[in-house]
Amino acid sequence: MEAGRRCKGQQSEPAKAKVRLKSKERNDSYNLDNQIKQLSLNFSNRQFERQFRSTSDIASCISLVGLPITLLCATIAYLYLYKV
């Protein structure tokens, strides 16, 4: 094989090292053991805790709106099927 060409699927050593480094960084970011207090489950970094507390959860609004819509649809289906 020529020096400048690689087979499909082969990577150079620097590319492999870069992929390994990114994978390690990704795994380290999910390691929460060093970032949280075990008893209170708060973040050790106060600034990070403040940022976490200040974010709003969009999904909670979906469940608040979804329940009445589901009940309304179920009631309409019940009335239509059983013609009460």
Percent of all residues in the chain with a pLDDT value above 90, rounded to a whole number:
17
Q: b/e for 32-56, b at 16 or more Cβ within 10 A?
A: eeeeeeeeeeebeeeeeeeeeeeee
17 pLDDT above the threshold of 70? yes
Comparison of pLDDT for 60 and 39, the residue scoring more: 39
pTM of the full structure: 0.35
Residue 51: CA atoms inside 13 Å, Cβ hemisphere, count?
6
